[in-house]
Structure 1
Amino acid sequence: MPVRKAIHAGSWYTDSGPELSRQLEYWLHQADLIHGPARAIIAPHAGYQYCGACGGHAYRQVSPVVVRRIFILGPSHHVRLSGCALSTARKYKTPLYDLHVDSQVNGELEMTGQFEWMDLDTDENEHSIEMHLPYIAKVMENYKHQFTIVPILVGSLSPEREACYGRILSSYLGDPQNLFIISSDFCHWGHRFRYTYYDRSYGNIYQSIEELDRLGMNIIENLNPTDFTNYLKKFGNTICGRHPIGILLQAVQELLRNDSRRNANLKFLKYAQSSQCRNMNDSSVSYASAALVFE
């Protein structure tokens, strides 16, 4: 049975279980429960020294009492995929405890004919899913034997493919025992990212970046996948989890089409930047946390 190692433990976050637990606990306690119980969250996937505190605001909205299955949609940074890929691992290691993959759901998704499989090397080289595992383990620690995970690596998708995956996953999103985690950082700004959009009317570069990000965040809150696609085309904002976000928006729209009594409310709770860019030689990555509830 393949086991995915915690490859980034000891570098992107501590490999000490007790230290990691204390760190995550602190960040969770710094956040307020103001938009829950979350049925989906958007949270960053950088090193914890940069985004750990921001991520806590999303995970604080999770109600572990009801969650029994957790879908993690992360963008592929190293391997080009035209679709979505499922994990061949059966367990994911964390410094806290091992998380078990839901083989039944993997089988159901494979039967749709729309998913491929990622090998263990691809899985371990990718950080977008791994960086959420310690937070999942911490939030669910009192129910550690009562839940499973469904890691999904998301490739570069057309809007039509996002809609396809949204339709497939909408029934799972509609189940209150399922939680969806959308892994995404926001603007990657600077020459090293080949993105230097700057609207001087907003002041300093970092202020222009925040305005650009918040425009995208507002569109995401409106839950309109077409508007989000158009925003990305217009500004080219380097939101690395744009396709997982697109799938979530499509899944929400599918649910709302099929149940007119259902209301969805997505709200961003925290925004941060790794540093404040003031000249064209600077660089930064933005982070944002959001929670989706059904009313």
Structure 2
Amino acid sequence: MSVRRASHAGSWYSDSAKDLDRQLDDWLNNAHLSHGPARAIIAPHAGYQYSGAVGAYAYRQVSPVVVKRVFILGPSHHVRLAGCALSGFTKYRTPLFDLTIDQRVYDELYATDHFESMSSSADEDEHSIEMHLPYVAKVMEDYRDQFTIVPIMVGSLTPDREHLYGRILAPYLADPQNLFIISSDFCHWGQRFRYTYFDRSAGDIWQSIQKLDKQGMNLIETLNPSAFTEYLKKYGNTICGRHPIGVLLSAVSTLQKTSNGHRMSLKFLQYAQSSRCFSSNDSSVSYAAASLIFE
């Protein structure tokens, strides 16, 4: 048995189980259950001091009693990857308790010949999946021995490959015992991110960023993968989880075309920026929380 250490604990979030538990409790208690039970959520992966409160709005929509498996799709920040990769570990450590990877589902995914294995160093360097693990542990704590996780690192996919992975994952999304977590921050604005789009008609820079993000969020809510792709082409918005989002939208699109004609609704519930930008010397990252339900 090999366990992935909580490599970002103590820096990106608290490595004290007691402090972490209290913090997550506070954030979840301040969020409202308004669009659940979630079959999938979109939530940020920045340091908890910046994005933890926003993420709670997504996790508040989860009904842990029905969940047996948690898929976590996170973008690759450090490794060049044209497809998707799976972990070589058997467990992921959190300060609260360890999470077990579902090896049976991994075998099924490997059998498609469209998944590769990530190295242990790439796995531990990446934060986009790890930042969701404490929230998963917290929400699922009453069922800690009754669920597994399926971490998937998502590379820089073409739209065609987003559709491919969406088709592969669609049957899992259709299963009410599965929860999908889509890990993504929104606009990374500023010279250090090499992105300084500014629509002056919106007001200050931070208002332009908000307008741009809201436009993207509105398109994601339509559940139309090609419309989201066109938006990204037009504005180049630096949404780091755009490919995991694209995979989710493609999975939804696949299910909508089946004979069952699944009816789904995705809604954004919270939005924030790390700081407000007023000049070209400023920078910020945006965070958003959303929930997808089957009607």
Q: TM-score, normalised by structure 1?
A: 0.99
CA distance in structure 1 between the aligned counterparts of 2:267 and 2:171, rounded to whole angstroms: 22
CA distance in structure 2 between the aligned counterparts of 1:165 and 1:259, rounded to whole angstroms: 20
Is 1:76 the equivalent of 2:76?
Answer: yes
- Structure 2 counterpart of 1:168: 168
- Please tell me the residue identity of whatever aligns with 2:73: L
Pairs within 5 Å for 1:91-106: 91-106=91-106
- Structure 2 counterpart of 1:47: 47
CA distance in structure 2 between the aligned counterparts of 1:203 and 1:235, rounded to whole angstroms: 18
- Structure 2 counterpart of 1:210: 210
- Please tell me the residue identity of whatever aligns with 2:47: G
Shift of 1:262: 1.9
Gaps of 5+ in 2: none
Where 2:65 maps in the other structure, the secondary structure is coil
CA distance in structure 1 between the aligned counterparts of 2:104 and 2:263, rounded to whole angstroms: 29
1:62-81 deviations in Å (ceiling 9; x for gaps):
00000000000000000000
CA distance in structure 2 between the aligned counterparts of 1:50 and 1:117, rounded to whole angstroms: 31
Shift of 1:119: 1.2
Gaps of 5+ in 1: none
- Please tell me the residue identity of whatever aligns with 2:188: H
Where 2:82 maps in the other structure, the secondary structure is coil
CA distance in structure 2 between the aligned counterparts of 1:259 and 1:238, rounded to whole angstroms: 36
Where 1:82 maps in the other structure, the secondary structure is coil
- Structure 1 counterpart of 2:14: 14
Q: Verify the 8 A CA contact 2:255 2:261 in the aligned structure 1.
A: no
Where 2:196 maps in the other structure, the secondary structure is coil
1:154-195 deviations in Å (ceiling 9; x for gaps):
000000000000000000000000000000000000000000
1:75-134 deviations in Å (ceiling 9; x for gaps):
000000000000110000000000000000000000000000001110000000000000
Where 2:250 maps in the other structure, the secondary structure is helix
Pairs within 5 Å for 1:179-258: 179-258=179-258
- Please tell me the residue identity of whatever aligns with 1:111: A
CA distance in structure 2 between the aligned counterparts of 1:137 and 1:287, rounded to whole angstroms: 21
Shift of 1:2: 1.9
CA distance in structure 2 between the aligned counterparts of 1:119 and 1:89, rounded to whole angstroms: 9
Shift of 1:253: 0.6
CA distance in structure 2 between the aligned counterparts of 1:261 and 1:212, rounded to whole angstroms: 31
Identity %: 69
- Please tell me the residue identity of whatever aligns with 1:45: H
- Structure 2 counterpart of 1:150: 150
Shift of 1:261: 3.9
CA distance in structure 1 between the aligned counterparts of 2:262 and 2:145, rounded to whole angstroms: 31
1:232-273 deviations in Å (ceiling 9; x for gaps):
000000000000000000000101101354211000000000
- Structure 2 counterpart of 1:64: 64
Where 1:65 maps in the other structure, the secondary structure is helix
Where 1:293 maps in the other structure, the secondary structure is strand
CA distance in structure 2 between the aligned counterparts of 1:262 and 1:229, rounded to whole angstroms: 23
Where 2:66 maps in the other structure, the secondary structure is coil
- Structure 2 counterpart of 1:118: 118
- Please tell me the residue identity of whatever aligns with 1:17: A
Q: TM-score, normalised by structure 2?
A: 0.99
Is 1:128 the equivalent of 2:128?
Answer: yes
- Please tell me the residue identity of whatever aligns with 1:86: L
- Structure 2 counterpart of 1:4: 4
- Please tell me the residue identity of whatever aligns with 2:180: F
